[in-house]
Structure formats: C-alpha cells, structure tokens
Amino acid sequence: MTTIASAFDATQIEATAARLARSHPADIIAEALTHFDQLTISFSGAEDVVLVDLASREAARLDRTFQVFSLDTGRLHPETLEFIQRVRDHYDIPIEAYFPQSEAVETLVREKGLFSFRADGHGECCGIRKVEPLGRALADVDAYITGQRRDQSPGTRAEIPVVQLDPGFGRDANPLVKFNPLANWTSAQVWQHIMAYNVPYNPLHDQGFKSIGCAPCTRATHPGEHERAGRWWWEEATQKECGLHSINLER
C-alpha cells in the first residue's frame, strides 16, 4: 500500500491537514486507517481513550487494523495502570507497554535522586522515561495518532494541525506522519463522547485531575484553573511539553 509518508511531501501533508481541518475525529482516524498499514495510537491512560474508542469503531467499519501502545514510565498512578488494563479488556486489544531503559533510570536516580525534575526541570527525566521509549515504540510504524488538543495548552498546542510530519521520529530518513484527530475538539466535546458512548475513563478524573501524567508531576486542578496547570506546576507554562511533542515548541 502506498502511504502518505512516501507519497506526500510536506506541502501535500499541509494540504491534507487543510482538507481535514474541520473534520470529525472519526473521519480523521478513518483517513489514517485507510492509508497506513503500520499505524499506532499513543495512549496515555487519560482522556485520549476516546481515540481507542473511535479507532475501534472505524477499524471495524473499514476492516482495518491498528496498534496501541503506552509509555510505562515507572511513575504512573496505580489508577492509571488499572485503567490501561481495563481498556485492554473492554476493547479486547493488546496495549503494548514501553518501559525506560533500566540502566539509564538507575544512573539518573543514583546520581540525582528520585525527584531531580523538581530541581533542574523535567527534561532529563522525561527524556529517559518517555522520549527514548517513544522512539522504540515508533520505530516500526509509518504513522501514529495522538490525543493532542489545541485547548490543552495555549502556550504550546494552540496551532497544532490535525495531521503533520514529525521529523523527530521516523525511519529511513522519512519523518513519521502524526495525526492529531482531537486537535479541534474541546475537553467538553471529549467528555460528551465519553458519556454518550459509555467509554471507560480514568477514575482520577473524578478526583479533579484534568490532565494526567506521572504521579509526582501531576496534581488535581481547582475549578477555573487550566488543565495544564496540573502538570509541572513549578515550571513555565511555555515549557510544559515532555519531549513527546517537542515539535510544538519549535512551531
């Protein structure tokens, strides 16, 4: 099958993004399923469960397949781990877990302790626990799907397109194609879908967690606070990306 990755250059990806800019997330996921055999969903164990739900429906309709992976950083909440298992069972799909390299974690903890990110920023720890495993998770695919939304982070995600090339990852010098089907959806629309279709969700959301990441770097937010305020709250808002979406910082 010819893929967008090999057949489209950056200009054509932009045209595809423009064509799909106002499409429903299900239609964007259908486009990804139709064009890519090696397609995976990056599932964080939070609201992006909507992607798994939509992809399951669209894949059944189109008779296509997809993969799902999550990054087990070793610092996730127990509730998140339970939830990931629940999603596996609910949709009857494998969710591949990628763990950090044990030697790198051991060196970091030996030299800087367990909470170095509070002293010198989250970049080093996220690099070891998230970015390096992400590279392995994406090593053998042509495209991936993320749950990024524009309303998640005015500082870093306000302009993300529904599809883009990600030069940070890819194989044979070809950048990966990255779909962001929820880019245009608000948090309210995501929750409307979750409730309307009885989609399982992480119980931490009922405890005030809007955005969910690693336990030591995520807190519940107060009413009126932006969801990203619950992540790395000791750092500047413009730096609140963990390296998985570093392209957002470059835009």
Active site residues: 242
Q: To which residue do tokens 């590279």 refer?
A: 135
Return the closest-CA partner of residue 45 out of 130, 124, 108, 162: 130
Stretch that binds ligand SF4, among 54-62, 121-129, 177-185, 198-206 (CB under 6 A): 121-129
Encoding tokens for residue 131? 């970015």
Nearer to ligand SF4, 155 or 175 (CB): 155
Task: By CB under 6 A, name the one of 35, 75, 193, 240 that touches ligand SF4.
Answer: 75
The answer to the question of residue 242 lying near ligand SF4 (CB under 6 A) is yes
The answer to the question of residue 217 lying near ligand SF4 (CB under 6 A) is yes
Task: Give, as one character, the DSSP assignment of residue 171.
Answer: E
Task: By CB under 6 A, name the one of 35, 64, 77, 122 that touches ligand SF4.
Answer: 122
Which residues inside 145-184 make contact with ligand SF4, applying CB under 6 A? none
At its nearest, how many Å lie between ligand SF4 and the CB of residue 214? Answer: 3
Return the closest-CA partner of residue 16 out of 165, 171, 147: 165
Residue pair 120/103 in contact by the 8 Å Cβ criterion? no
Stretch that binds ligand SF4, among 54-62, 126-134, 153-161, 173-181 (CB under 6 A): 126-134
b/e per residue 7-23 (b: at least 16 CB within 10 A): ebeeeebeebbeebeee
Residue nearest to ligand SF4 as judged by C-beta position: 214
Residue pair 151/131 in contact by the 8 Å Cβ criterion? no
The answer to the question of residue 77 lying near ligand SF4 (CB under 6 A) is no
Q: Please tell me the number of Cα atoms within 13 Å of 94 on its side-chain side.
A: 7
Task: By CB under 6 A, name the one of 73, 148, 180, 202 that touches ligand SF4.
Answer: 73
The answer to the question of residue 36 lying near ligand SF4 (CB under 6 A) is no
Encoding tokens for residue 21? 């800019």
In whole angstroms, give the CA distance from residue 172 to residue 205. 40
At its nearest, how many Å lie between ligand SF4 and the CB of residue 15? Answer: 35
Nearer to ligand SF4, 99 or 197 (CB): 99
SS3 50: helix
Residues of this chain that bind ligand SF4 (CB under 6 A): 73, 75, 117, 122, 125-126, 129-130, 213-214, 216-217, 242
